[in-house]
Amino acid sequence: MIRPFSFPDLDSILQIESQSFPKSPYDWTTFLNLHTLYPETFLVYVNKNRGGTEEEIVGYIIFDQDGHIISIAVHARYRRKGVGGKLLQRAMEAPQRNRVWAEVRRSNHGAQAFYSKMGFKITGLIPNYYGNEDALIIQWTPAIHKSY
């Protein structure tokens, strides 16, 4: 199940964040600011128990109205199970979407493989975007997606 972020999710999100981005994790104030800015597109992926009484947050995505992916991460235990793809799909299926794009560390080959599988192409590079590491710009457009 995918739903908007709410405050009780914060501890789980911070855990996912620290294991996913050990070099530069967002802190809690950043997440709360992002929630204020993007209340409808800061989304969490939730596993529920059978009775539906307990939730486990296993991933999140934050994107803006222009299709810029601000962050996406999935708990290490739940990767390669389609969670990231379903979250990214939410950004891609927004009506009138012309493109979806993100910055990715040059060394983050896993994320690059993920975006490539989702139909994204590398369209640019920002030198030293992460201090001493370049960012690749990766982008998806509906037209590229159809011909992929």
Residues that bind ligand COA (CB under 6 A): 20, 72-74, 79-85, 102, 104, 108, 110-111, 113-114, 117
Query: Do residues 37 and 75 lie in contact, with contact meaning Cβ atoms separated by under 8 Å?
Result: no
C-alpha–C-alpha distance, residues 57 and 12, integer Å: 6
Nearer to ligand COA, 76 or 98 (CB): 76
The torsion of the CA quartet 20, 16, 145, 117, rounded to 10 degrees, works out to: 50
- Smaller CB distance to ligand COA: residue 23 or 146? 23
Comparing CB distances to ligand COA, the nearer of 96 and 133 is: 133
What is the closest distance, in whole angstroms, from the C-beta atom of residue 72 to ligand COA in the complex? 5
Nearest-approach distance from CB 93 to ligand COA, in angstroms = 15
Residue 97 C-beta: closest distance to ligand COA, Å: 18
- Nearest distance from C-beta of residue 74 to ligand COA, angstroms: 4
Q: State the alpha helices, DSSP H only, in 3-98.
A: 10-20, 28-37, 83-92
**C-alpha–C-alpha distance, residues 66 and 141, integer Å:** 12
**Closest residue to ligand COA in the complex (CB):** 84
Mode of pairing for the β-strands spanning 2-4 and 69-74: unpaired
CB nearer to ligand COA: pick between 48 and 117: 117
- The Cα 106–Cα 134 span in angstroms is 6
